[in-house]
Amino acid sequence: MSGDIRPVLELAGIRKQFAGVDALRDVQLRLYPGEIHALMGQNGAGKSTLIKVLTGALPSGGGSMRLDGQAIHPASPLEAQKLGISTVYQEVNLCPNLSVAENVFAGRYPRRGAAEGFRIDWAAVNRRARELLARIGLDIDVARLLSSYPVAVQQMVAIARALGVSSKVLILDEPTSSLDDDEVRKLFEVLRKLRGEGLAIVFVTHFLNQVYAVSDRITVLRNGTWVGEWRAADLGPQALIAAMLGRELAAQSGRAAALPPFDIAAPALLEAQGLGQAGLLQPIDLLVRAGEIVGLAGLLGAGRTELARLLFGLEAPDRGQLRIDGEVASFASPADAIRHGLALCPEERKTDGIVAELSVRENIALALQARLGARRFLSRAEQTALAERFVEALGIKTASVETPIGLLSGGNQQKAMIARWLATEPRLLILDEPTRGIDVGAKQEIMAQILRLAKGGMAVLFISSEMSEVVRVAHRIVVLRDRSKVGELPAGSSEDEVCELIAATHE
Ligand SMILES: Nc1ncnc2c1ncn2[C@@H]1O[C@H](COP(=O)(O)OP(=O)(O)OP(=O)(O)O)[C@@H](O)[C@H]1O
Ligand SMILES: [Mg+2]
């Protein structure tokens, strides 16, 4: 940034406390027009809190905010938006059963004049929604239901909704966590276009490569404090990790955990033969042995989640056979699968698992209690011990195990969900994108737990879009493409080999 350009937004000395505990202490942020600024930090570092304070979603606990040199005190996100600060939050709150246009304008519909009773001007709603979407390069039918479009499009709709006419600052909290590579590229094109129009864009992500692909500058928070601000070109990935984690942790996180040896002659724990469902998944053969970590690689939509759901009794296969310990098994529901020792940690933590108003303790104990059934209740003390063990092991940042889980940061909620399924000590654990939204340090902790359990004989089916992770932890990699299995690769295969298999055209 050259010295003569003034920041469009300047935050200084920002504080925020929750129940007497500092979530933000003396935090600053400077944004210039026409830049993409990455806001980085571990899970619970305070990124979302800073954004919520800045946009009036949470009251500030002190400090100053200046927009174009003028002090501002937005009391609500709507007020912030009127000032020109637009936000897409980590938890996208759109309505799937409203139309695209309705989602863009819900709560602030353009209305007709007094003579017509201030009725909503639907023609204007649709026209202006089309204009806003065109601004970010999206040409879709705005009258269709939002749910009829893929997540990536829904994400763009959220951005269009956020972008007011007079936006100066656009804030995106983990916008890419459920997008595939192609969709991320498209999103970045949109961000670059908006940057070209002079917007200042704040971008939160846990994907380090994305930081370098798109951002001009980086601000790092650690434990609610400001660590520093750099030009992206001046802060390499190692230095960035060190800034986020602190020196000691960064040194540890560089060390790759060793893949536990696994007995190739171990008996098959789970064996699928020609398992499939019309329209969902082509017939698939899959073998998982005790103590084996099988990676499931493929692009978004390749059928990985569908396979997990079939194995776990969430979908009923209409062909093929499933065997557990050599015995034919058929699961009418997840309860059947759980009885056979399976567990599935699903991908969509918001919809599939978190009970926001229950405590961290109750959320972690939930699946184990369900497995034990009504005959064996976990005492409060047992639940506490269990929860505290996992809070420690996975580094879940929470004031106590009695804190309602909804008050934890997004990544820490995700860690608690993994703990919930690890606690059941399943024989086969299916993890669907377990490290999404999780910071680099916590990823290591989760991988270490998985490797430790595998060493003890637990089998793991590991689904991840991050190829580097799959090749590092898997004894064997099963590759899916277009809802069918295209091959298997042994441990030690490279990312390139997996990519080749994914990209290979059908013969
Ligand atoms: N409403 C709340 N009440 C109490 N504590 C809260 C509340 N909101 C956030 N916190 C705490 O403030 C801290 C910062 O959380 P925040 O959500 O800002 O983290 P984050 O950097 O966005 O993390 P992530 O990468 O996991 O999304 C966390 O310890 C969190 O538990
Ligand atoms: Mg967050």
Residue 251 pLDDT > 60, yes or no? Answer: no
Contact residues for 158 (Cβ-Cβ < 8 A; gap 6+): 88, 92, 94
Q: How confident is the model at residue 507 (pLDDT cuts 50, 70, 90)?
A: very low
Length of the chain: 507
Beta strands in 326-443 (DSSP E): 327-329, 342-345, 428-432
Residue 506 pLDDT > 50, yes or no? Answer: no
Residues 325-347 have pLDDT tens digits of: 999 999 999 889 988 999 998 87
Which of 102-106, 145-149, 248-252, 266-270 bottoms out in mean pLDDT, i.e. has the lowest?
248-252
The alpha carbon of 250 and the centre of ligand 1 are apart by a number of angstroms equal to 22
Phi-psi region of 198 (alpha: psi -120 to 50; beta: other; left: phi over 0): left
Q: Is 384 in the pocket of ligand 1 (CB under 6 A)?
A: no
Contact residues for 498 (Cβ-Cβ < 8 A; gap 6+): 297, 467, 470, 471, 477, 479, 489
Domains and CATH numbers, the chain: 9-91+166-253 (3.40.50.300), 256-341+427-439+462-507 (3.40.50.300)
Residues 63-108 have pLDDT tens digits of: 999 999 999 999 998 899 889 999 887 666 778 888 999 888 877 7
Please give the pLDDT value at position 383: 96
Please give the pLDDT value at position 201: 96
Calculate the dihedral angle through the C-alpha atoms of 74, 75, 81, 84, rounding to the nearest 10 degrees: -10
Residue 183 pLDDT > 60, yes or no? Answer: yes
**Distance in angstroms between the alpha carbons of the first and the last residue of the chain:** 52
Please tell me what DSSP assigns to residue 6: P
Residues 120-130 have pLDDT tens digits of: 788 888 998 99
Least distant ligand from the CA of 39: 1
Top-confidence range, 24-38, 368-382, 385-399, 443-457: 24-38
What number is the average pLDDT over the span 401-407?
Answer: 93
Please tell me what DSSP assigns to residue 115: G
Of all protein residues, whose CA lies closest to atom 6 belonging to ligand 1?
Answer: 407
Q: Measured between alpha carbons, how far is 458 from 41 in angstroms, rounded to an integer?
A: 32
Token code pair at residue 269: 């724990």
For the four alpha carbons of 123, 124, 126 and 127, in that order, the dihedral sign comes to positive
Of all protein residues, whose CA lies closest to atom 1 belonging to ligand 1?
Answer: 407
Q: Which residue would you say has higher pLDDT here, 218 or 5?
A: 218
Phi/psi at 337 (nearest 5 deg)?
-65, -40
For the beta sheet containing 225-231, the strands, ordered from the edge strand earlier in sequence to the opposite edge, are 70-71, 64-67, 9-18, 21-31, 225-231, 217-222, 35-40, 200-204, 169-173, 85-88
Token code pair at residue 2: 């050259």
Q: How confident is the model at residue 182 (pLDDT cuts 50, 70, 90)?
A: confident
Please give the pLDDT value at position 172: 93
Please give the pLDDT value at position 160: 87
Token code pair at residue 159: 């951005």
Q: Measured between alpha carbons, how far is 271 from 257 in angstroms, rounded to an integer?
A: 28
Do the Cβ atoms of 477 and 499 come closer than 8 Å?
Answer: no
Which of 60-74, 172-186, 247-261 bottoms out in mean pLDDT, i.e. has the lowest?
247-261
Please give the pLDDT value at position 143: 92
Q: Is 18 in the pocket of ligand 1 (CB under 6 A)?
A: yes
Please give the pLDDT value at position 90: 67
Q: Measured between alpha carbons, how far is 236 from 47 in angstroms, rounded to an integer?
A: 21
DSSP secondary structure of 213-248: HH-SEEEEEETTEEEEEEEGGGS-HHHHHHHHH-HH
Top-confidence range, 75-79, 109-113, 244-248: 75-79
The alpha carbon of 46 and the centre of ligand 1 are apart by a number of angstroms equal to 6
Please tell me what DSSP assigns to residue 146: G
Contact residues for 475 (Cβ-Cβ < 8 A; gap 6+): 259, 262, 292, 293, 294, 490, 491
Which of 24-33, 230-239, 275-284, 365-374 bottoms out in mean pLDDT, i.e. has the lowest?
365-374
The alpha carbon of 124 and the centre of ligand 1 are apart by a number of angstroms equal to 39
Residue 255 pLDDT > 60, yes or no? Answer: no
Pairing assessment for the beta strands 428-432 and 268-277 based on DSSP bridges:
unpaired
**Pocket residue to mutate for ligand 1, from 48, 203, 402, most atoms within 8 A of Cβ:** 48
Contact residues for 8 (Cβ-Cβ < 8 A; gap 6+): 31, 32, 33, 67, 68, 168, 169, 200
Which class for 143: exposed (0-12), middle (13-18), buried (19 or more C-beta within 10 A)? middle
Q: Is 277 in the pocket of ligand 1 (CB under 6 A)?
A: no
Neighbouring C-beta atoms of residue 206, cutoff 10 Å: 24
For the four alpha carbons of 77, 82, 83 and 88, in that order, the dihedral sign comes to positive
